[in-house]
Chain A
Amino acid sequence: MINIIKPNDQSHFDLILTSYFVSLMKNSKQTMKKILTILIAMTLFWSCAPDKPTNQEEFPDQPAAKSAVESQIMDPTKGIGAVKNVTLKTPLEQERVSRGIAIYEMKCSACHRLDEKRVVGPGWKDITKTRKPEWIMNMVTNVDVMLEQDAEAQKLLELCLTRMPNQNVSIGDARDVLEYMRQNDGEK
């Protein structure tokens, strides 16, 4: 559903998400029913969620509620969040890699090393071989929900005992970091 075409292009994601919902609306009664159940589930989820606004406010296009529900329909190995499908290219997109390095140095390097050694968070070596790209990007852009609801993320929290912080990373930026992770894992 989501294809990443242009780097750092948040509006592009908005567009695709919106068109997804519009196409749903145009479809049959059955889909309407589906939307209804989703809506009800969303309300239920919200009513037991804490009142305190979460970081989701900053990314209104990826509300936690929606992601939570969709995750039940979708592939759990992709994690929970707005990122559904990432297309990876070979060779690596070098522009992304260099932006990814800068983001890593500013926002991630305090806790993640590039080798396998765990400091505050797990080392990144081979992460792109063990995790789906979508999962990684959702972990970075929707970390509070991931730590609440994603079994794999929760296992990590039990191991590290420090919550991975929301570092206010846009989806485009997360994609750049992912590209850097791929390079770190030896891809060309």
Chain B
Amino acid sequence: MKTIINSIGALALVASAFLMNSCQPKGPQEAVVGNAAAKVYVAPGQYDEFYNFVSGGFSGQVSVYGLPSGRLFRVIPTFSADPQTGYGYSEETKDMLKTSHGYVPWDDFHHTALSTTNGEHDGRWLFGNANNTPRVARINLKSFRTEEILEIPNSGGNHSSPFITENTEYVVAGTRFSVPMGANKDVPISSYKENFKGSISFIKVDQTTGDMSIAFQLRTPGFNYDLSRTGKGPSHGWFFFSCYNTEQAHTLLEVNASQNDKDFIMAVNWKKAEEYIAKGEGEKVKARYAHNVYSEKTHMTTSTIKDEVLVLDIMKYPDIVYFIPCPKSPHGCDVDPSGEYIVGSGKLAAMMPVFSFTKIQTAIANKDYEGDFQGIPVIKYESALHGEVQKPGLGPLHTEFDGNGNAYTSMFVSSEIVKWNVKTLEVLDRVPTYYSIGHLCVPGGPTKKPHGKYVIAYNKITKDRYLPTGPELTQSAQLYDISGDKMQLLLDFPTIGEPHYAEAIPASMLTAGSTKIYKLEENEHPYAAKGEKFTKVERNGNQVHVYMTAIRSHLTPDNIEGVRVGDEVYFHVTNLEQDWDVPHGFAIRGALNAEILVMPGETQTLKWKPQEAGVVPFYCTDFCSALHQEMSGYIRISPAGSNTPLKFSTGDTED
């Protein structure tokens, strides 16, 4: 009874929302119906069926939810510093955020890419892009930690990234903004057509370590590269990119980049590019970019600045790249599980073209071109076209697929998900989203074998959906059951940051391999104290190194004297626990950076500069045992130049 009243209430709310905003959906299923609650209920202590990795957009992180419950498990610090774990603040992790510009503590994380083998999820890594200061990150799916960040040179915003090839051979990083490249970058903005270039990086991934390196960059015409997808199955060896602003406007893009009836989908034959590289083609070009790798053995980051990339100018190799006309500023460019169909989503178009890989190949073989763009062949639209989805909805953005030949497209302007059949192009169903959906996710949707079952909408606007929280409101995710003919709304939940792309993987693929502890025996941190016997305090000029241990529930040493104003104190804290879920934290009054959280068997370092004489307490921040409140200590700070002897102890009661 209560639920009925609730749903009537929800209906009324939704209805009033429609009245308020005529742009909002007018679909038939406005509220939750039937047994939705039962379908998302995961009883306390029970596990979810899927992990959902959701990019955090301007939060710079990725969050990990369970599906179908929508419970948030973890936020993995990636491109933004995270004071609560110490990521980006500790001496070990701060270099993860190093770039050629210096330390960049924030970014805009848009897209996830779960690694694949044979086009199917393999549960090894999750890649993510930094949109602002171009970077690609690799997260280890055993430790759920960011293990590597590679900066992308010659890029003006890393948006069409990170999309991966079928066997994770390459991660691509296409520049959203074209920028001047070459020796002289100090050129008039109005010389866009002449001086601005696009750049697509192919990042090679080491199949055992995951280590990333830029294999080559394609130098492409100057316009905007938006999104991308790999070919698979028959189209393995190809990559597809959506391009907008083929007008090559450099101001008021809102109007000036929306003039052409058609922009392009760029088809890249990367196997061809590989052949050229193997033949020694391409030019080594000076570049400066950072490569940061975190080691689970030393618990430290190694950051190196690289100074060169290999560039293939596609003007010189016209059989690497082909353009396919695509209506009105395409955004999503998605390849179906069979690898045959490529869906272009023109944000401003009233229909959606679906291209056929077979037809594209035939057109190329027959030179069935309508012309060229700066020497690059432009395939005839009709020759590449499988067909058009008519009147799908307003503002199509992205498409995901289930395992039954259906596609699900997000409609930003009309706030809905539209389900259609890839072969017949017939629209089968539509459901409203609340509101203004951006990306969407079907578990395994970009792979050869989608897991199906759900589609999740990631919405930009929540307005009246939750309790108000002042001017700034949360974004949201909405979960729909897609197991039947009709999509059914089950749940919505707030998100971290502004989610863009997200992916889901069956939990069973990750749980068994999840890291529980770091083995003390394998800890190779140069400042680790692997046992209390090895704790000490060492002075080296004005640097003081404290080799400290933490275990339930004391820190060793916990009394330190002989440190002076003007010193730099490094607390190297090794957590001696070897059991799962027993981190210790370390915080000290007046620290200008953050705290550190130290996992079992790990060593992390907090740097601290005492400012005045006195005795300063420090303590463990992670409630670790019944005696956690006792887990603390003191450091005595003497004035600069004084000669209080260096001394440290734990458990000594006499002086």
A binding-site residues for B, Cβ under 8 Å: 50-52, 55, 58, 105-107, 109-111, 119-120, 161-163, 165-169
Cβ-defined partner of B517 (8 Å) among A110, A161, A163, A168? A168
* Chain A, Cβ-Cβ closest to B519: A168
* Chain A, Cβ-Cβ closest to B529: A106
Minimum distance in angstroms from A115 CB to a CB of chain B: 13
Cβ-defined partner of B552 (8 Å) among A58, A105, A162, A168? A162
- Judging by beta carbons under 8 Å apart, are B577 and A165 in contact? yes
B binding-site residues for A, Cβ under 8 Å: 45-47, 516-517, 519-521, 530-534, 549, 551-554, 556, 576-580, 582, 625-627, 651
With A110-B554, A161-B627, A165-B577 known, 19 other A-B pairs at CB within 8 A are A52-B45, A55-B579, A58-B516, A105-B531, A107-B576, A110-B532, A110-B551, A110-B576, A111-B551, A119-B651, A120-B554, A163-B625, A165-B551, A165-B578, A165-B579, A167-B577, A167-B578, A167-B579, A168-B519
Q: When A161-B627, A165-B577 are in contact, do A120 and B519 touch as well, CB less than 8 Å?
A: no
Minimum distance in angstroms from B583 CB to a CB of chain A: 13
- Judging by beta carbons under 8 Å apart, are B582 and A51 in contact? no
- Judging by beta carbons under 8 Å apart, are B579 and A109 in contact? no
Determine which residue in B47, B530, B579 has the highest number of CB atoms from chain A within 10 A of its CB, and name it. Answer: B579
CB-CB under 8 A from A167, the residues of chain B are 577-579
- Judging by beta carbons under 8 Å apart, are A162 and B576 in contact? no
- Judging by beta carbons under 8 Å apart, are A162 and B517 in contact? no
Minimum distance in angstroms from B9 CB to a CB of chain A: 35
CB-CB under 8 A from A165, the residues of chain B are 551-552, 577-579, 582
CB-CB under 8 A from B517, the residues of chain A are 168
Minimum distance in angstroms from A151 CB to a CB of chain B: 21
- Judging by beta carbons under 8 Å apart, are A166 and B576 in contact? no
- Judging by beta carbons under 8 Å apart, are B580 and A106 in contact? no
CB-CB under 8 A from A111, the residues of chain B are 551
Of the A-B pairs whose beta carbons lie under 8 Å apart in the complex, a sample of 19, sorted by A's number, is A50-B45, A51-B46, A55-B579, A58-B516, A105-B531, A105-B532, A106-B521, A106-B576, A109-B532, A109-B533, A110-B551, A119-B651, A161-B627, A162-B626, A162-B627, A168-B517, A168-B578, A168-B579, A169-B578
- Judging by beta carbons under 8 Å apart, are B46 and A162 in contact? no
Minimum distance in angstroms from A59 CB to a CB of chain B: 12
A156 CA to B532 CA, complexed, in Å: 23
Determine which residue in A107, A109, A110 has the highest number of CB atoms from chain B within 10 A of its CB, and name it. Answer: A110
A52 CA to B625 CA, complexed, in Å: 19
CB-CB under 8 A from B532, the residues of chain A are 105, 109-110
CB-CB under 8 A from B553, the residues of chain A are 120, 162
Cβ-defined partner of A55 (8 Å) among B520, B534, B580, B626? B580
* Chain A, Cβ-Cβ closest to B553: A162
Q: Chain B: interface secondary structure?
A: loop
- Judging by beta carbons under 8 Å apart, are B533 and A105 in contact? yes
* Chain B, Cβ-Cβ closest to A110: B551
A51 CA to B627 CA, complexed, in Å: 27
Cβ-defined partner of A110 (8 Å) among B519, B549, B579? B549
Minimum distance in angstroms from B436 CB to a CB of chain A: 39
- Judging by beta carbons under 8 Å apart, are A166 and B549 in contact? no
- Judging by beta carbons under 8 Å apart, are B556 and A110 in contact? yes
CB-CB under 8 A from A55, the residues of chain B are 579-580
Minimum distance in angstroms from A162 CB to a CB of chain B: 5
Minimum distance in angstroms from A145 CB to a CB of chain B: 13
Determine which residue in A120, A162, A165 has the highest number of CB atoms from chain B within 10 A of its CB, and name it. Answer: A165
Q: When A161-B626, A165-B577 are in contact, do A106 and B520 touch as well, CB less than 8 Å?
A: yes
A158 CA to B532 CA, complexed, in Å: 25
* Chain B, Cβ-Cβ closest to A108: B531
Minimum distance in angstroms from B82 CB to a CB of chain A: 26
Minimum distance in angstroms from B48 CB to a CB of chain A: 12
CB-CB under 8 A from B519, the residues of chain A are 168
- Judging by beta carbons under 8 Å apart, are A120 and B626 in contact? no
- Judging by beta carbons under 8 Å apart, are B651 and A109 in contact? no
- Judging by beta carbons under 8 Å apart, are A107 and B531 in contact? yes
CB-CB under 8 A from B47, the residues of chain A are 51
- Judging by beta carbons under 8 Å apart, are B579 and A51 in contact? no
A100 CA to B555 CA, complexed, in Å: 24
* Chain A, Cβ-Cβ closest to B579: A166
A184 CA to B553 CA, complexed, in Å: 25
A163 CA to B626 CA, complexed, in Å: 9
Minimum distance in angstroms from A64 CB to a CB of chain B: 15
The 10 closest A-B CB pairs, nearest first, are A168-B578, A105-B531, A166-B579, A106-B531, A110-B551, A167-B578, A105-B533, A51-B45, A165-B579, A110-B532
Minimum distance in angstroms from B296 CB to a CB of chain A: 16
Determine which residue in A50, A106, A111 has the highest number of CB atoms from chain B within 10 A of its CB, and name it. Answer: A106
A111 CA to B550 CA, complexed, in Å: 11
- Judging by beta carbons under 8 Å apart, are A120 and B531 in contact? no
CB-CB under 8 A from A110, the residues of chain B are 531-532, 549, 551, 554, 556, 576
CB-CB under 8 A from B533, the residues of chain A are 105, 109
Minimum distance in angstroms from B408 CB to a CB of chain A: 33
A50 CA to B581 CA, complexed, in Å: 15
Minimum distance in angstroms from A116 CB to a CB of chain B: 16
Minimum distance in angstroms from A32 CB to a CB of chain B: 31
A106 CA to B520 CA, complexed, in Å: 8
Cβ-defined partner of B531 (8 Å) among A109, A119, A162, A168? A109
* Chain A, Cβ-Cβ closest to B44: A51
CB-CB under 8 A from A52, the residues of chain B are 45
CB-CB under 8 A from B576, the residues of chain A are 106-107, 110
* Chain B, Cβ-Cβ closest to A164: B552
CB-CB under 8 A from B580, the residues of chain A are 55
Minimum distance in angstroms from A123 CB to a CB of chain B: 13
CB-CB under 8 A from B578, the residues of chain A are 107, 165-169
Q: When A110-B556, A168-B578 are in contact, do A162 and B516 touch as well, CB less than 8 Å?
A: no
A168 CA to B575 CA, complexed, in Å: 14
A120 CA to B532 CA, complexed, in Å: 13
A119 CA to B519 CA, complexed, in Å: 25
Minimum distance in angstroms from B628 CB to a CB of chain A: 10
Minimum distance in angstroms from B307 CB to a CB of chain A: 42
A58 CA to B519 CA, complexed, in Å: 12
A52 CA to B514 CA, complexed, in Å: 13
A58 CA to B625 CA, complexed, in Å: 23
Minimum distance in angstroms from B312 CB to a CB of chain A: 49
Minimum distance in angstroms from B349 CB to a CB of chain A: 50
A115 CA to B466 CA, complexed, in Å: 61
Minimum distance in angstroms from B527 CB to a CB of chain A: 16
CB-CB under 8 A from B46, the residues of chain A are 51
A52 CA to B577 CA, complexed, in Å: 19
A14 CA to B579 CA, complexed, in Å: 23
CB-CB under 8 A from A169, the residues of chain B are 578
CB-CB under 8 A from A58, the residues of chain B are 516
A111 CA to B552 CA, complexed, in Å: 9
A52 CA to B530 CA, complexed, in Å: 29
A120 CA to B626 CA, complexed, in Å: 12
CB-CB under 8 A from B45, the residues of chain A are 50-52
CB-CB under 8 A from A50, the residues of chain B are 45
Minimum distance in angstroms from A18 CB to a CB of chain B: 22
A169 CA to B517 CA, complexed, in Å: 13
A161 CA to B532 CA, complexed, in Å: 21
